[in-house]
Amino acid sequence: MPGASALRQRPDAVLTPRDATAALKAAIGTGVRAQDPSASTAATPVLAIEHVSLAFGGVTALADINLDVWPGEIHAVIGPNGAGKSSLLNVVTGLYQPDRGRVRHGGRPFAHVPTARLARLGVARTFQNLSLFKGLTVLDNIVMGLSAEVRSSFLGQIFGVPAAAREERRHRAAAGEIVEFLHLTEVADRTAGGLPYGIQKRVELGRALVAKPKLLLLDEPMAGMTLTEKRELTGFIRTARDTYGTSIVLIEHDIGVVMGLSDRVAVLDYGRKIADGTPDEVQADQAVIDAYLGVAHDVDVGGGI
Amino acid sequence: MFDYQFFLEVLIGGLLSGIMYSLVALGFVLIYKTSGVLNFAQGSMLLFAALTFVSLVERGVPFWGAFAATLGVMVLLGVAVERTILRPLVNQPPITLFMATLGLSYVIEGVAQLLWGTQVHGLDLGIEDSPFEVYGVLISQFDLFAAAVAGSLVAAFSLFFRYTRIGLAFRAVADDQYAALAVGLRLPRVWAIVWTAAGVVALVAGLLWGARLGVQFSLSLVVLKALPVLVLGGFDSIAGAIVGGLLIGAIEKLSEVYIGPYFGGGIEGWAAYVVALGFLLIRPAGLFGQKLVERA
């Protein structure tokens, strides 16, 4: 059974770039916002999804979903195509307003999450279909990740008043350190749109990471990547979590990556959450095997709609 | 024998008037680039700015006072447009937004008429329109002045886009609005600033065109001159607006002088549109425009 063997093969071979941790630690030292992981008390989840339901016409996309993401946790959300993963992410980012239930970001409840305020709430994301600023350089893309923290007025920027210039230097330095951490130094001044897919994905991760978010939403970060690129990116994600204490919600189809990287795995099927636990628990869960893992054949080829 | 000196004179005259077209096109590009809206009201904004300025001057306000006051009015207009039109219509299809700007153009013209009346005003910027000679080529002093002003404005905008953080934000918004939102850019603020910038461009263009043609309601029709410029240069490229303007200016004058006689003259008014039409068939995105690639 191809699915089962894919499951058992734990990706122990995942590489953590050796120098990445050191580079990232350096990044924190001069970081834009001093982030103390212990400051966020473990008592409040970074993200709490409470009784969220959503239907499109008569079709149920999400049915009474509950999900907590704790500080420093990598929480994967998996499920067959059409299970509601993307709908859930769209509710969390405010693209959809749920019919019932609410979403708490850092304890603050929202019936409809204000998309425009997400960055200021400490939430960053990457997109399933790359969403880079293609005409900007790699470094400028990552600098834009700090947009929510710009304090200087546009007149101040035009006339180059000292405070604006200082802020700009600080942001450039923070972006430069992320560039180093993600091994993007050689392409830092290249236009992002012209780079290979795998590198663009990494730039997008950098743009999300530079603001040192409390919560990072990764929407199929490994899609379309080669095995080497996947290993590399897995290492970067884990290191980012270890160093910043960033909580990560990971939507991903590659079961090997998910089981190796996640602390907890939630499984969706037809809009319902059928399991939520450690990778080992979830892999042993009969409902999950029936609904998803047993038909792992569909996982990567995208069988059901 | 081909008269090179005369050719050069026509060409330079064409290029200089072309920069005036670039100036109008620049207003379009700023807004189109950052919000995907073809702002049909750019012409009315231009008229409104020129009319406000000239009416203030006629009421005894000194030149720079009137300039500053009009600038203030254009800033208010930009912010008001963002509040009352763009924000409620966010995420609507481009045609809806285009129709909104079409309506806006009539509102602005109506308000201008209500405020300042309908008569034609002369506008004197204090620059003599007497030609001077360089190596036997006659050049209009006013055209040269207008070109210098337009050129510095374009240069200022280019520097702004390249070197300031908000300029970077403009380019980011132009590239991907949703990602811009996700990184925490305040889109309403960006739009308000862009419309303000377009208002400033409209003011400068309105003064230069007003001094040339007189400040009257037909002034708003210079937008139609900007359309072939945009087709040639691309709707989303500042460089394209400049090069397109220069090309259209030169094409108009040269075709009038050298091809016009075969048609009995008077082709200056439509030659540019013929070229634009031909261009649409060959290179629909324009010289510098981004090709639209839709991914499934």
Partners of B185 on chain A (C-beta within 8 Å) are 144, 147-148
CA-CA distances (angstroms) from residue B229 to A13, A268, B175, B241, B268?
A: 58, 53, 22, 6, 14
How many helices (H) and strands (E) would you count in chain A? 12, 10
Contact criterion met (CB < 8 Å) for B183 and A148: yes
0.90 exceeded by the pTM?
A: no
Angle, CA A66 vertex, CA A65 and CA A67 arms, to 5°: 120
What pLDDT score was predicted for residue B1? 62
**Nearest alpha carbon to residue B34 among B194, B163, B154:** B194
Per the structure, how many domains does chain B have?
1
The least confident of A9-18, A92-101, A225-234, B187-196 is A9-18
- Helix axis angle for B238-258 and B4-35, nearest 10°, is 150
Q: Tally C-beta pairs within 8 A across A and B.
A: 80
ipTM, 2 dp:
0.73
Cβ contact (<8 Å) for A131 and B169? Answer: no
SS3 for B2? coil
> Which residue from B minimizes the CA distance to A161?
B164
The answer as to whether B243 is a domain residue is no
pLDDT band at A31 (very low <50, low <70, confident <90, very high): very low
- Contact residues on chain A for B295, CB-CB shorter than 8 A: 129
Output the tens digit of pLDDT for each of chain B's 296 residues.
677 888 888 888 888 888 888 888 988 888 888 877 888 888 899 999 999 999 999 898 899 999 999 999 999 998 898 888 888 887 778 888 889 999 999 999 999 889 888 888 888 777 777 777 777 777 888 888 888 888 888 888 888 888 888 888 888 888 888 888 888 888 888 888 888 888 999 999 999 888 888 888 888 888 888 888 888 888 878 888 888 899 999 998 888 888 877 877 777 778 888 888 888 888 777 777 765 554 44
CB of B239 within 8 Å of a chain A CB? The answer is no
Cα distance between the two ends of chain B: 59
Residue A42 has pLDDT above 90, yes or no: no
Q: Which residues contact A177 (CB under 8 A, 6 or more apart)?
A: A23, A24, A26, A27, A30, A31
Nearest to A129 among B166, B183, B295 (CB): B295
Alpha helices in chain B (DSSP H): 4-35, 42-58, 63-81, 94-116, 141-163, 165-175, 177-182, 187-213, 222-233, 238-258, 260-263, 268-282
In contact, A157 and B172? CB cutoff 8 Å = no
Question: With an 8 Å Cβ cutoff, are B168 and A135 in contact?
Answer: no
Strands of the sheet with A123-126, listed across from one edge: A123-126, A215-219, A247-251, A74-78, A264-269, A272-277
Residue A150 has its nearest CB partner, among B160, B165, B187, at B165
> Measured between CB atoms, which of B176, B179, B184 is closest to A148?
B184
Q: Which residues contact A290 (CB under 8 A, 6 or more apart)?
A: none
| B-chain residues near A211 (CB < 8 A) | 183-184
Answer yes or no: is B255 within a domain.
Answer: no
Tokens of A233: 């990116």
Amino acid identity at A138: V
In a domain, B48, yes or no: yes
Instruction: Give the C-alpha separation, A144 to A203, whole Å.
Output: 11
- Closest CB to A127 among B164, B166, B179: B179
Residue of chain A with shortest Cα separation from B237 = A135
B266 part of a folded domain: no
Tell if the CB–CB gap between B176 and A150 is shorter than 8 Å: no
Do the Cβ atoms of A113 and A49 come closer than 8 Å? Answer: no
CA distance B119 to B110: 14
Q: Which of B160, B163, B165, B178 to mutate to test the interface with A (most CBs of A within 10 A)?
A: B165
Domains assigned to chain A: 2-34+67-299 (3.40.50.300)
Which of A31, A281, A8, A265 is CA-nearest to residue A171? A31
Chain A hits for B171, Cβ within 8 Å: 133, 135-136
Residue B253 resides in a domain: no
CA-based radius of gyration for chain B: 20
Q: Is B291 an 8 Å CB contact of chain A?
A: no
Kindly identify which residue of chain A lies nearest to residue B186, measuring between CA atoms: A116
Among A residues 32-91, those touching chain B with beta carbons less than 8 Å apart: none
Shortest distance between the Cα of A152 and any Cα of chain B, in A, equals 9
Is there a domain that residue B128 lies in? yes
| Alpha-carbon separation of residue B129 from B11, B53, B54, B143, B212 (angstroms) | 18, 20, 19, 8, 9
**Domain of residue B165, residue span:** 20-218
Specify if B53 maps to a domain: yes
User: Whole-angstrom Cα distance, residue A193 to residue A200?
Assistant: 8
Who wins on pLDDT, A4 or A278? A278
For chain A, the average pLDDT equals 81
B183, B237, B290: best mutation site toward chain A, by most A Cβ within 10 Å?
A: B183
Asked if the structure places residue B134 within a domain, the reply is yes
What pLDDT, on the 0 to 100 scale, is given for residue A164?
A: 84
Name which of B175, B179, B193 is nearest A154 (Cβ-Cβ).
B193
Q: Does B182 touch chain A (CB under 8 A)?
A: yes
